[in-house]
Amino acid sequence: MIVKRLIEKAMKKAQGAQASLGQSESTNVSFENDKLKSVKSSQSTGMSVKVILDGKVGSSQTTDI
Protein backbone atom coordinates (compact mmCIF):
# COMPACT_ATOMS: atom_id res chain seq x y z
CA MET A 1 0.00 0.00 0.00
CA ILE A 2 2.64 2.54 0.99
CA VAL A 3 4.92 1.31 -1.81
CA LYS A 4 2.14 1.67 -4.37
CA ARG A 5 1.39 5.24 -3.23
CA LEU A 6 5.09 6.10 -3.32
CA ILE A 7 5.47 4.83 -6.89
CA GLU A 8 2.30 6.63 -8.02
CA LYS A 9 3.57 9.90 -6.56
CA ALA A 10 7.05 9.49 -8.07
CA MET A 11 5.64 8.68 -11.52
CA LYS A 12 3.89 12.07 -11.67
CA LYS A 13 7.31 13.61 -12.46
CA ALA A 14 9.74 10.74 -13.08
CA GLN A 15 10.14 8.55 -16.16
CA GLY A 16 10.53 5.44 -13.99
CA ALA A 17 10.29 4.43 -10.35
CA GLN A 18 10.97 1.41 -8.18
CA ALA A 19 10.18 1.03 -4.49
CA SER A 20 10.53 -1.78 -1.98
CA LEU A 21 9.65 -2.40 1.63
CA GLY A 22 11.34 -4.99 3.81
CA GLN A 23 11.30 -6.25 7.37
CA SER A 24 13.76 -8.36 9.31
CA GLU A 25 13.90 -9.89 12.75
CA SER A 26 16.90 -11.21 14.62
CA THR A 27 17.50 -12.91 17.95
CA ASN A 28 20.89 -12.95 19.65
CA VAL A 29 21.48 -15.61 22.29
CA SER A 30 24.52 -15.47 24.56
CA PHE A 31 25.90 -18.26 26.75
CA GLU A 32 28.56 -18.13 29.43
CA ASN A 33 29.96 -21.28 31.08
CA ASP A 34 27.28 -23.35 29.32
CA LYS A 35 24.53 -21.22 30.88
CA LEU A 36 22.18 -18.83 29.17
CA LYS A 37 23.42 -15.29 29.75
CA SER A 38 21.05 -13.20 27.63
CA VAL A 39 18.50 -13.20 24.82
CA LYS A 40 17.93 -10.07 22.75
CA SER A 41 15.45 -9.74 19.91
CA SER A 42 15.19 -6.88 17.46
CA GLN A 43 13.09 -5.95 14.45
CA SER A 44 13.90 -3.60 11.60
CA THR A 45 11.74 -2.23 8.80
CA GLY A 46 13.16 -0.38 5.84
CA MET A 47 12.05 1.16 2.57
CA SER A 48 13.92 2.18 -0.56
CA VAL A 49 12.98 4.12 -3.68
CA LYS A 50 14.73 4.68 -7.01
CA VAL A 51 13.59 7.14 -9.65
CA ILE A 52 14.69 8.05 -13.17
CA LEU A 53 14.37 11.75 -13.96
CA ASP A 54 15.90 13.43 -17.01
CA GLY A 55 17.95 10.30 -17.70
CA LYS A 56 19.52 10.28 -14.22
CA VAL A 57 18.91 7.76 -11.45
CA GLY A 58 18.39 8.82 -7.85
CA SER A 59 17.83 6.59 -4.85
CA SER A 60 17.04 6.87 -1.17
CA GLN A 61 16.62 4.45 1.74
CA THR A 62 15.24 4.78 5.25
CA THR A 63 14.51 2.71 8.32
CA ASP A 64 12.53 5.57 9.91
CA ILE A 65 9.01 4.44 9.03
pLDDT 10s digits, 9-59: 999 999 999 999 999 999 999 999 999 999 999 999 999 999 999 999 999
What pLDDT, on a 0 to 100 scale, did the predictor assign at position 29? 98
Sketch the domain layout of the chain as residue ranges: 2-62
Q: So what's the pLDDT on residue 34?
A: 95
Q: Are the C-beta atoms of residues 51 and 57 closer than 8 Å to each other?
A: yes
**What radius of gyration do the chain's Cα atoms show?**
19
Q: How confident is the model at residue 64 (pLDDT cuts 50, 70, 90)?
A: confident
φ and ψ of 9, to 5 deg: -70, -45
**Binning pLDDT at 50, 70 and 90, where does residue 8 land?**
very high
